[in-house]
Amino acid sequence: MKHYLAMALLALPFLAHAEDNYGTYTNGKVTLIYELGYRGGDLFYSSACKGVAFTPAYNAAAQMFEDRQKNYVIYFQGMGPTMEVESTYKCFPEGRYKRISN
Let me know: does 53 contact 71? Beta carbons within 8 Å: no
- pTM for the model stands at 0.79
Most confident listed range (4-8, 37-41, 59-63, 85-89): 85-89
pLDDT band (50, 70, 90) for residue 93: very high
- pLDDT, tens digit, 9 for 90 and up, residues 22-49: 999 999 999 999 999 888 889 999 999 9
* Per-residue pLDDT at 19: 67
If one counts the domains in the chain, the total is: 1
Range(s) of the domain holding residue 77: 2-101
| Sheet (strand 23-26) strand order | 53-54, 42-46, 31-36, 23-26, 95-101, 82-87, 72-77, 64-66, 57-59
CATH code of residue 20: 2.40.128
